[in-house]
Amino acid sequence: MTIEKPLVETLTEADAAEELAFLAAELARHDALYHAKDAPEISDADYDALKRRNEAIEARFPELVRDDSPSRKVGAAPSGIFQQIVHARPMLSLDNTFSDEDVRDFVHSVYRFLGVLPDDSIAFTAEPKIDGLSMSLRYENGKLVGAATRGDGTTGENVTANIRTIKEIPQTLPSGVPEIVEVRGEVYMGKSDFLALNEQMTALGRQTYVNPRNTAAGSLRQLDPTVTATRKLRFFAYAWGEMSDMPADTQLGMVKTFETWGFPVNPLMQRFTSIEAIIAHYRNIGLERPDLDYDIDGVVYKVDRLDLQARLGFRSRSPRWATAHKFPAEQAFTTVEKIDIQVGRTGALTPVARLTPITVGGVVVTNATLHNADYIEGIGNNGERIREPDHDIRIGDTVIVQRAGDVIPQVLDVVMEKRESGSVRYEFPKICPVCGSHAVRERNEKTGKLDSVTRCTGGFVCRAQAVEHLKHFVSRNAFDIEGLGAKQVDFFFEAEDEKLWIKTAPDIFTLEKRQGESALTKLENIDGFGKVSVRKLYDAINGRRQVSLQRFIYALGIRHVGETTAKLLARHYGSYTAFADAMQTAGDLSGEGWSDLNSIDGIGEVVARAIVEFYKEPRNLEVVGRLLKEVTPQDAETPIVSSSPVVGKTVVFTGSLEKMTRDEAKAKAESLGAKVAGSVSKKTDIVVAGPGAGSKLEKARELGVQTMDEDEWIALIGG
């Protein structure tokens, strides 16, 4: 509903004063709803309209500008309400496992990585995975000096004042603790406290909260710590960040130490050495789950010995030494109202079931992915049957949906007794619903099998592909441009005024320039973009004109090139010029460029081909060329270990290693700044050959590459 307001020009001074008072109060109320309660009542556009009206009235009656005028508070940015804290050590996440089989694989992978250890000799801890918010608490000389949320893992929000109101968190530690201590763990709200809070809300006639986790999050994001203090937040310590001294050498030892320092730790944490014992503990915790006064969504297993944890190290986002064994998903029945097709960045057509809304495990589910045409038919990724032959998914079917954690809900099966007699098989589209181009299933060159994905052949012509490409480009792990989310990308892509167009990535960086003279007036006149938000957007864009090579390559959106591959490429080639030049020549499949690309450990032929294809397409080169006029990819960082004798060297391991596993050798070499390749070429610096080495060793000798055995290698890198 919009209420017509009198034109500013027609207001009397008395009207103006009254309205300014109203606007000050109203905007302050919306600020509070937005920032403190995470529950805005109006859209950003309506909020901006109120602000603009306030400014217009003030412009006409400058003498009426109030001390508490919203125009004086422009600094309060939506997400900038808390200061940022850069974590001394990144806060990582955990890999998930879902079945006993996955757990066995995890344990075996630990043994495999470490090699040579006898069965059941590695101890693992098992403890509940608390469904709350992870928190890093920093103590210096025994005093709590800072508390930060996880954020993106590198940078979190400073919520120290709020954390100080949590009684379970010690403000000071006993004497004798290390000078720097960072204790990490989970802030959560007890189930009983959550229910009590909701009863109170109901009694006050206010809206109730959805679940303990969101309520805990909202309570921590209060600007006013006295509000946080009224919420009964709690804490479990289970990990650490920077420590100037290590008080124990096992996971369990560390947690026990935290307990003696006054931190609450979870009583269900135990240590085991056999897979069976770990899984039995998981089942027991599952049985206790309903009676616990806090929400948990699985059990976390961690290698107990810290020296082994150090050897295992990390993948890009998660440690190799831990995994979260999730509890089974929750299920419910509902009906498929229709099936929509979404077209992704690479043209993949994904069918989505629109469901009659249903609550599954406390969350309302309205959509479920149907993956692809085969999945609808009841056929899995490897051609195997995943449902009975006649259980294809149809519009109107009653289905079982499942939701596990944050994963997109799935349709598991069809309830055949409820299928209507007139129902018809779903026919998968043969043309792209967005651009009308043919949609085809490609044939895998190697296996000769049809790909499970149906793909739009429209390429750049397809609006959906272009838009999704842009969304990928600005996403968190790519250019990470704040203020340019999915909604804004849609807006700029569809904008009527050419000056506002963002059709390809380089357009993002010319947006400000294209607004001409009135750089700050053009965009801000559009609903939803205030003066401040426009300036912030331009600043965010300009802040990304320098970007890491890894992010740059990832952002290009080359098929099959995810973050890990982008990182491998960045490390291998070092600079964008080196990478692009190499990709130009790699098109010659008999040349050095192609074999060099394929020699990168972790890059297979399918990926290599996709990269080469990308660089063959003139349109891609044109877009990248324009992008490079605006943006400078930074050369890949050489690791900090400048003293290592193998920095920048390309190493190939071949034959069997006896002192460490191949994975460990590779991780170690990389941590010392070496590049590990899978095959020997002129660019190889060192070949480490163990017993049984064959053609790679021969080739090394032929090319005059330095070779050594495992002991010599260990001596070289200093153990």
Residue 197-216 contact track with ligand IVH, rule CB under 6 A, x = bound:
--------------------
Stretch that binds ligand IVH, among 88-96, 242-250, 285-293, 340-348 (CB under 6 A): 88-96
Write out the two tokens for 650: 């390309």
Q: Is 129 a catalytic residue?
A: yes
Q: In this chain, which residue has its C-beta nearest to ligand IVH?
A: 134
Pick out residues in 255-284 that bind ligand IVH (CB under 6 A).
none
**Catalytic residue of the set 37, 73, 129, 668:** 129
Main-chain dihedrals φ then ψ at residue 692, nearest 5 degrees: 90, 0
Considering the rule CB under 6 A, would residue 300 count as an interface residue with ligand IVH? yes
* Helix H or strand E encompassing 233: strand 233-243
Q: Which residue, 127 or 193, is less far from ligand IVH as judged by CB?
A: 127
Q: Which residue, 48 or 186, is less far from ligand IVH as judged by CB?
A: 186
User: Residues 639, 717: contact at Cβ < 8 Å?
Assistant: no
Contacts of 541 (CB under 8 A, 6+ apart): 481, 484, 508, 509, 511, 512
**What is the distance between the alpha carbons of residues 614 and 607, in angstroms, rounded to a whole number?**
11
Stretch that binds ligand IVH, among 122-130, 283-291, 388-396, 458-466 (CB under 6 A): 122-130
**What is the distance between the alpha carbons of residues 565 and 319, in angstroms, rounded to a whole number?**
18
User: Residues 66, 21: contact at Cβ < 8 Å?
Assistant: yes
**Shortest Å, Cβ 229 to ligand IVH:** 23
Q: Which residue, 130 or 439, is less far from ligand IVH as judged by CB?
A: 130
Question: Judging by DSSP bridges, how do beta strands 410-414 and 398-403 pair with one another?
Answer: antiparallel
**Shortest Å, Cβ 319 to ligand IVH:** 5
Chosen residue from 166, 197, 324, 669 binding ligand IVH by CB under 6 A = 324
DSSP string of 164-208, one letter each residue? TT-TTS-SB--TT--SEEEEEEEEEE-HHHHHHHHHHHHHTTPPP
Give which of 556, 615, 560 is closest to 584, Cα–Cα: 615
Q: Which residue, 285 or 558, is less far from ligand IVH as judged by CB?
A: 285
Write out the two tokens for 475: 């996403």
Residue 123-162 contact track with ligand IVH, rule CB under 6 A, x = bound:
----x-xx---x---------------x------------
- Please tell me the count of residues contacting ligand IVH according to CB under 6 A: 15
Residue 234-253 contact track with ligand IVH, rule CB under 6 A, x = bound:
----xx--------------
**What is the distance between the alpha carbons of residues 336 and 370, in angstroms, rounded to a whole number?**
11
DSSP 319: B
**Shortest Å, Cβ 527 to ligand IVH:** 37
**Shortest Å, Cβ 671 to ligand IVH:** 17
**What is the distance between the alpha carbons of residues 187 and 194, in angstroms, rounded to a whole number?**
14
Pick out residues in 488-507 that bind ligand IVH (CB under 6 A).
none
User: Residues 502, 492: contact at Cβ < 8 Å?
Assistant: yes
**Shortest Å, Cβ 18 to ligand IVH:** 49
Write out the two tokens for 507: 């357009």
Report how far Cα 121 is from the mean position of its chain's Cα atoms.
34
Q: Which residue, 324 or 399, is less far from ligand IVH as judged by CB?
A: 324
Question: Judging by DSSP bridges, how do beta strands 546-548 and 632-634 pair with one another?
Answer: parallel
Q: Which residue, 87 or 129, is less far from ligand IVH as judged by CB?
A: 129
Active site residues per annotation: 129
Binding site for ligand IVH (CB under 6 A): 92-94, 127, 129-130, 134, 150, 186, 238-239, 300, 319, 322, 324
